[in-house]
Amino acid sequence: MRRLLIAALLAAAFSAQADTTSAGHTYTPPDAFAARLDGPVARFTAPEGDATVTVVDLASAKDAADAVAQAWALAQPDFKRTLRLATPRPSRNGWVDQQVFDYETSPNEKLAVQAIARRSSTGDGKAWVVLLLQASEATLEKRGAPIGKFFSSLRPQGYSRESFAGKTAKPLTPERIEQLKAFVAQGMKQLGVPGVGLSFIDGGRVVWAGGLGVRELGKPEPVDGDTLFMAASNTKAMSTALLAQAVDAGKLRWDQPAAEAYPAFRLADPEVTKSVQIKHLVCACTGMPRQDLDWLFATGPKDPARKTFDQLAGMQPTSKFGEVFQYSNLMVSAAGYIAAAALSPKLELGAAYDQAMRERLFKPLGMTRTTFDLDAALKSNHASPHGDGWAGSGQPARIDVDRTIFPVRPAGAVWTTAREFSRWVQMELNHGRSPEGRVLISEANWAERYRPQIATGEDRHYAMGLMIDRQSGVTVAKHGGATIGYISQMLWLPDVGAGFTLLTNADAGQALIGALERKFLEVLYDGRPEADALLRTAAANWQSNLAAWKKELTLPVPEDTQLRLAARYRHPVLGGLRVERAKGQLVFHFDHWSSEVALRRASDGRLSFVTIAPATTDFSFLLDDQAPEPALVLRDAQHEYRFVAVKPR
């Protein structure tokens, strides 16, 4: 019956109507996009009108570059853009010779332009398909899920999708565990990841937990099963477990308006505020955008938890309620604090959350080293952060930016170890019970957390701080975490009792996650051998992107360009920016962290100053010194922040 519980929740959610291209290749159209079909060219336009994805059928081409040239000639004969970078992709899902072409755009275009060429492995093997993307950055962020669903669903005519449905998972024997460990070690070597905390679960039991590599580059201390890493957004599933406990205790209801449960909760749009129920705080389905710069720049480690609610009060949704997947850290932060306030109303929000997580979840699970206290973590056996920078990948990074996460900690500030992280996965596999059988969450509310809320791709949905993935024909629950210098992943198969946890101390660990997930399924089900190629390609592309990024920059920044900068700038929300020129370096100091910057000159001549410190790379500040109020302009996909020059007194 337990195995049927999630299946019943998911049965209606994972169905899609497939269409075909002119050559008979199948795909699922992007939701809400308007279609226009013209022979071999099928064009889909987003409701906003500023994003188009096009699929072009070609009978043959000499290679990927020729296929892309033919596709642009058919779909947009006047297309003329400079190619920025071409990177390969491994053969998968019936496609071979895959390559991605990224094109140059200028900052003020706020545009992404890309082409993807694929050759079919079916039929005579000569047919190519090219996907063309031209989208405003704002719409691409909002509608990335339906676009990704469209791209991943496109399959050659006659291709049979791989499925593990109905197959029996193989046990994780010592030999299979060593195979997985060797795969991770190889990935670390290829990506320059110094250290990894790793665990494997089978039959609901931890069959291996330990470490690979070192805690810090250039130092001998090894990672072990008790080494602390920041697990970032994997905190979200932990916060939803606390919500479930509050529902179990009768303190909250999933369908209760959030503003009723906690009157300080409000958004800038009163109507959206009224619509948000407790479950919506963690569904990524409310239309609230990411908007992380508000806390990355404006929040310090000493700020109180209530600042989450102050920041949310000024935020507007950028899509309709329930329309598309949009990931909001601040909404999940509010969820964790509302749960804590419901359970301990007399305590300050942050203290209530810390106490509730420690006493109600971590201690009963034996997670005694797991903590939100960054300073305590740094004084014990911990892995230091690393990231890409001007000197290359895997460089030691400062911890400053990670301190800004503390006031929004229900969304991403937990520190944990491989050994303790695995106990969390055991609890999930045990339907809300500790490995020893203690009930932490009722089975009904454990299952509620898995109920799909919004689509994130083909056969993929976001639930409550969890991603539910059925692309392989079996249910996979998972979530990832990414913060400055740390990447993590937890994954489990609820119907099988198997899973893994991964903790890394480098940004490049991001390129390891998808390959390890594939390898894990291959080992369990004797799947098609694709993981090794995925890893090789991901590692090569990681380095190619880093090299292309460096090629665009000038360091040191020329003296005449430095002189165009004011000494200080300020943004009313994000705070201050102080410019320092010292020892040939140009350094930007923000309120809570700092970085050296390099110069980027766009194709239209516009100048930007780009952060290059390890793990804080590519915050780009566009120079606008011709405006009545000279400024440095920082953007995310959907927002613009003008740091205006402060006049000397």
Predicted local distance difference test score (pLDDT) of residue 132: 98
SS3 percent helix, strand, coil of the chain, rounded to 5, is: 30, 30, 40
CATH superfamily label, 18-153: Mog1/PsbP, alpha/beta/alpha sandwich (3.40.1000.10)
Q: Residue 121 in contact with residue 95, Cβ under 8 Å?
A: yes
| pLDDT tens profile 154-196 | 999 999 899 999 999 999 999 999 999 999 999 999 999 999 9
Q: What is the spatial distance between Cα 548 and Cα 505, in angstroms, rounded to a whole number?
A: 23
Please tell me the predicted confidence (pLDDT) of residue 2.
39
Residue 487 has pLDDT above 90, yes or no: yes
Is the pLDDT at 231 greater than 90? The verdict is: yes
Distance CA(286)–CA(289), nearest Å, equals: 9
What pLDDT, on the 0 to 100 scale, is given for residue 618? 86
Q: Can you list the pairs that 580-585 forms with residues at least 24 positions away whose Cβ atoms lie under 8 Å?
A: 584/556, 585/556
The residue among 471, 486, 404 whose CA lies nearest residue 196 is 486
> Which residues lie below 8 Å from residue 57, measured CB to CB, with a gap of 6+?
21, 22, 23, 25, 40, 41, 127, 128, 129
Distance between CA atoms of residues 327 and 315, nearest Å: 14
Strand partners, 597: 611
Question: CA triplet 300, 302, 306: central angle to 5 degrees?
Answer: 90
Tokens of 431: 């339907």
Alpha-carbon distance 99 to 91, whole Å?
A: 10
CA of residue 3 relative to chain centroid, distance: 29
Q: Give CA–CA dist 31/134, Å, rounded.
A: 17
Terminal Cα distance for the chain, rounded? 73
Alpha carbons 147 and 44: distance in angstroms, whole number:
10
| Number of residues that make up the chain | 649
Q: Which CATH number fits domain 174-546: 3.90.1150.10, 3.40.710.10, 1.10.3720.10, 1.20.1250.20?
A: 3.40.710.10
Please, are residues 481 and 233 in contact by the beta-carbon 8 Å criterion? yes
What's the pLDDT tens digit per position in 101-139? Answer: 999 999 999 999 999 999 999 988 899 999 999 999 999
Q: Hey, is 86 helix, strand or coil?
A: strand
Helix (H) or strand (E) holding 593: none
CA dihedral 530, 531, 536, 538 (to 10 degrees): 100
With beta carbons less than 8 A apart as the criterion, state whether 326 and 142 touch. Answer: yes
Strand partners for 477: 468, 492
Per the CB < 8 A criterion, the answer to whether 117 and 67 are in contact is yes
The reported pLDDT for the residue numbered 648 is: 85
- Provide, rounded to the nearest whole percent, the portion of the chain with pLDDT above 90: 93
Residue 91 has pLDDT above 60, yes or no: yes
Give yes or no for residue 11 having a pLDDT over 80.
no
User: Where are the chain's structural domains?
Assistant: 18-153, 174-546, 554-645
Which residue, among 25, 14, 30, 153, has the nearest Cα to 92 in the 3D structure? 153
Q: For 429-476, write each residue's pLDDT tens digit.
A: 999 999 999 999 999 999 999 999 999 999 999 999 999 999 999 999
Query: Which of 323, 318, 351, 353 lies closest to 335, judged by CA?
Result: 353
Residue 644: other Cβ atoms inside 10 A: 20
pLDDT at 512: 97
Q: Two tokens at 472?
A: 């392989």
The percentage of residues in the chain with a pLDDT greater than 70, rounded to a whole number, is 97
Contact 448, 466 (CB under 8 A): no
The dihedral built from the CA positions of residue 277, 282, 285 and 291, taken in this order, carries a sign that is positive
| 228 DSSP 8-state letter | B
Q: Residue 351 has what pLDDT? A: 98
> For residues 604 and 557, what is the distance between their CA atoms, to the nearest angstrom?
19
3-state secondary structure 340-373: HHHHCCCCCHHHHHHHHHHHHHHCCCCCCCCECC
- The confidence score (pLDDT) of residue 49 equals 97
Distance CA 140, CA 162 (A): 29
Query: Are 21 and 49 a contacting pair, CB within 8 Å?
Result: no
Indicate whether 9 pLDDT > 70.
Answer: no
State which amino acid sits at residue 416: T
| Amino acid identity, position 638 | Q
DSSP class of 34: E
Is 60 exceeded by the pLDDT of residue 73? yes
Structure token digits, residue 490: 């937890």
pLDDT per position as a tens digit, 190-225: 999 999 999 999 999 999 999 999 999 999 999 999
**Can you give the pLDDT at residue 17?**
55
Q: What is the pLDDT of residue 405?
A: 95
Which helix (H) or strand (E) element contains residue 301? none
Q: pLDDT, tens digit, for every residue of 377-412?
A: 999 999 999 999 998 888 999 999 999 999 999 999
Which pair of tokens denotes residue 292? Answer: 């992380």
Express each pLDDT in 232-283 by its tens digit. Answer: 999 999 999 999 999 999 999 999 999 999 999 999 999 999 999 999 999 9
**Which tokens is 236 given?**
């979200």
Look over the chain and give the mean of its residue pLDDT values, rounded to a whole number. 95
Return the closest-CA partner of residue 201 out of 494, 570, 1, 488. 494
At what angle are helices 235-248 and 349-356 packed, to 10 degrees?
A: 90
Residue whose structure tokens are 């072009």: 56
Q: What is the longest distance spanned by two Cα atoms in the chain?
A: 74
With beta carbons less than 8 A apart as the criterion, state whether 192 and 392 touch: yes
Angle value at C-alpha 608, between 606 and 609, nearest 5 degrees: 160
> Would you say residue 1 has pLDDT above 60?
no
